[in-house]
Amino acid sequence: MAPDAHPVLGIFVSDQGRGDAERATIMSQAGSYLARKGARLACVIDRHDDIPVPLLTSARTAGAAVTLIADEQFSEPSYLSGVTVEHLATPQERLARLAALSTLYIALPGSLSSAISLYRTWVKGGGGGGRKPVVFLDRNGAFKVVRGYAADVLSTSIRNHDRYVQFADSVEDLWNRAVWLIDQGATNPV
């Protein structure tokens, strides 16, 4: 992975909804593994109760640089010491900032709101032309519908669709696919 040994991964996840215990485990595993591989993490916080604490805690413990992008009223809780927090007024500005920071996007199993944020950020980043591919952690079929769409529609209509969307079955596979995309030049500006 020569082009960027420490990529910034725009992370999309939510700890809200059903399956919280398993989701917390996935976030902890992802945070520590990606940090040990040298990745830097960035994510948007829209609400004070939507902070992916397991992800951030495990990433920070493993030595990762973490950036949160929040609204102007967000006040950092004490457990976020050492995390960079950028304050921006509007949701559009926050998503645009995440798009600007990120080398590529990582989607962990979460809620519909995290999927919507991922789509909006991808659009703010220029869509496919913005060279920001997405790697989905499809644990227990979390992104089964998106995976099916990619196989049925994207694969037949977009040349090199695998440079835009990848699906991983484990945290290790997630990292390997991110590295592959970087090595293939999928994240380089055109």
Domains of the chain listed by start with CATH number: 8-183 (3.40.50.450)
Mean predicted confidence (pLDDT) in 44-59: 84
Confidence of residue 4 (pLDDT cuts 50, 70, 90): low
How far apart CA 32 and CA 92 sit, in angstroms, is 29
Q: Going along 35-117, which residue ranges are E strands?
A: 40-45, 66-70, 84-87, 104-107
Mean pLDDT of 172-186: 91
pLDDT tens sequence across 21-50: 788 899 999 999 999 999 999 999 877 667
Give dist(CA 98, CA 42) in Å, integer.
Answer: 7
> What tens digit of pLDDT does each residue of 127-165 get?
666 778 889 998 888 888 888 877 777 777 777 777 788
d(CA 47, CA 15): 12
Question: What is the Cα–Cα distance from 67 to 33, expressed in whole angstroms?
Answer: 17
Q: Which residues pair with 168 in a beta bridge?
A: 137
**pLDDT score for 161:** 73
**Residues 6+ away with beta carbon under 8 Å from 97:** 69, 86, 88
Higher pLDDT, 58 or 1: 58
- Inter-residue contact 102 to 42 (CB < 8 Å): yes
Tokens of 49: 């109760």
Best CA proximity match to 42, nearest among 122, 102, 123: 102
Q: Which residues pair with 85 in a beta bridge?
A: 68
> What pLDDT is recorded for position 49?
66
Residue 2 predicted with pLDDT over 50: no
Per-residue pLDDT reduced to its tens digit, 72-83: 999 888 888 889
